[in-house]
Amino acid sequence: GNLMYERVPMVEMDGINLVETRAILRYIAAKYDLYGRNLKEQAWIDMYVEGLRDLSDMIIFFPLSLPEKKERNLEYILGRATTRSSPVYEKEFKARISHIPTITKFLQPGSQRKPPLNEDSIETMKSIFRFERGMFLKNMGTIAAEY
C-alpha cells in the first residue's frame, strides 16, 4: 500500500514515499542543493541524467537478450556508448572528477568493481520477471520482452 504504482524504487524521506527514479533523483538533488543554481543548469543536469539512463537501460537488459539478437544488441550498445555517450561525459566530467581521490582510486586498474552477472543470476532474473525467451532491442532503442 506504500507504493504509488505498486513497484520499486521507493525512497521514504521527509514523511513521504517517493517513487519513480527521476522524481526521487530530482527531490534529493533539490533538497541538498545539487540540482543547479538556475533553470539552465537544471536543464543540463537533466540532459546528462537522461542520456546516461538511455545507455544504462540498454546495458541492464542486455543479459536478457534473445540468443539470436545478443550479438546485434551488443554491437548496437557499444556503438551508442562509444560514438554518442562516452565523448559527452568524458569531455564534461574528466577534468571535474579526476582530482577526487575516491574516484581516482576507483578508476585505477584492478580496483574493486561489482562482478558481471553469471548464468545463474541471469536465470534467476528471467524467472523472477517471467522472461521465457529473453529480451531484444527493437526500433533502435526500444526494449521489448518476448513472452
What does the domain layout of the chain look like in residue ranges? 55-146
If you average pLDDT over residues 38-58, what whole number do you get?
89
pLDDT given for residue 146 in this prediction: 46
pLDDT digits (tens, 9 = 90+) for 118-134: 888 878 877 776 666 55
pTM of the full predicted structure?
0.57
Enumerate residues 6+ apart whose C-beta is below 8 A from 35. 26, 29, 41, 42, 45
Enumerate residues 6+ apart whose C-beta is below 8 A from 42. 35, 36
pLDDT digits (tens, 9 = 90+) for 62-112: 988 888 999 999 999 999 999 988 888 887 777 777 677 777 777 777 777
DSSP letter for 34, please. Answer: -
If you average pLDDT over every residue of the chain, what do you get? 80
C-beta of residue 129 within 8 angstroms of C-beta of residue 123: no
pLDDT given for residue 16 in this prediction: 92
